[in-house]
């Protein structure tokens, strides 16, 4: 089956590869507008569905498109990617010493069949000093990530605890996605090669 990842995210690509899937990447070219009327879980679902539809329009009818979108939510505010370094410092300052929620919406689309869902994970940051925040922002890692941090990189040193799917915070809820793929006849675990 032709599987397409509708994302240029290296983290999502890494996770699908880790799941043992063979796929190609076609980045979705859409305006990722934040509809403030939608709840965070519905927002990421809507954006992931738009991404999947955009890529599916140029794919074959038998192609299975996988799309996702991730946001960080703190105190009712949706934190997307920071606009600049000052915005990244602001976000990290707000998350310091607190628990926030990460939502990833994901869509699987094959022809007219569409499955769209979302997953939420709670992440707790340790208290951070202004110097630590400035040092982390200066690495550049926060600049292309929702909430201004990457849990799989240097940002892992900011995280004190997590409740839920770790991979969801990276941008793809691997457990839920694995189950959803089964609805399209793709079973990564049973098709995995034996490890020697």
Q: Among all residues, which ones are annotated catalytic?
A: 69
Q: Within 13 Å and on the Cβ side, how many CA atoms surround 70?
A: 25
Tokens, residue 69:
């979108």
Q: Do the Cβ atoms of 28 and 54 come closer than 8 Å?
A: yes
Q: What is the β-pairing status of strands 64-74 and 77-79?
A: antiparallel
> CA 23 to CA 157: how far, in whole Å?
32
Q: Do the Cβ atoms of 72 and 46 come closer than 8 Å?
A: no
Could you tell me which residues come within 8 angstroms of residue 33 by beta carbon, excluding any fewer than 6 positions away? none
How many residues are recorded in the chain? 196
> CA 148 to CA 75: how far, in whole Å?
16
Name the CA radius of gyration of the chain, rounded. 17
> CA 57 to CA 95: how far, in whole Å?
38
Judged by DSSP in three states, 132 sits in: helix
């Amino acid at each position: 089956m032709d599987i397409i990842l509708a994302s240029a995210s290296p983290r999502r690509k890494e996770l699908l590869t880790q799941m043992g899937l063979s796929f190609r990447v076609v980045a979705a070219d859409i305006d990722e507008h934040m509809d403030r009327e939608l709840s965070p879980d519905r927002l990421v679902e809507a954006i992931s569905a738009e991404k999947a539809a955009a890529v599916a329009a140029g794919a074959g009818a038998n192609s299975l498109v996988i799309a996702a979108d991730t946001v960080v939510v703190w105190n009712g505010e949706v934190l997307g990617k920071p606009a600049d370094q000052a915005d990244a410092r602001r976000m990290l300052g707000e998350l310091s010493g607190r628990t926030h929620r990460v939502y990833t919406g994901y869509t699987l689309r094959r022809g007219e069949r569409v499955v769209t869902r979302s997953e939420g994970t709670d992440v707790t940051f340790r208290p951070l000093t202004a110097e630590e925040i400035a040092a982390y922002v200066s690495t550049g890692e926060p600049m292309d990530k929702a909430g201004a941090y990457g849990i799989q990189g240097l940002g892992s040193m900011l995280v004190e605890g997590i409740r839920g799917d770790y991979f969801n915070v990276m941008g793809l809820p691997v457990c839920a996605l694995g189950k959803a793929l089964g609805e399209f006849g793709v079973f990564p675990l049973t098709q995995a090669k034996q490890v020697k």
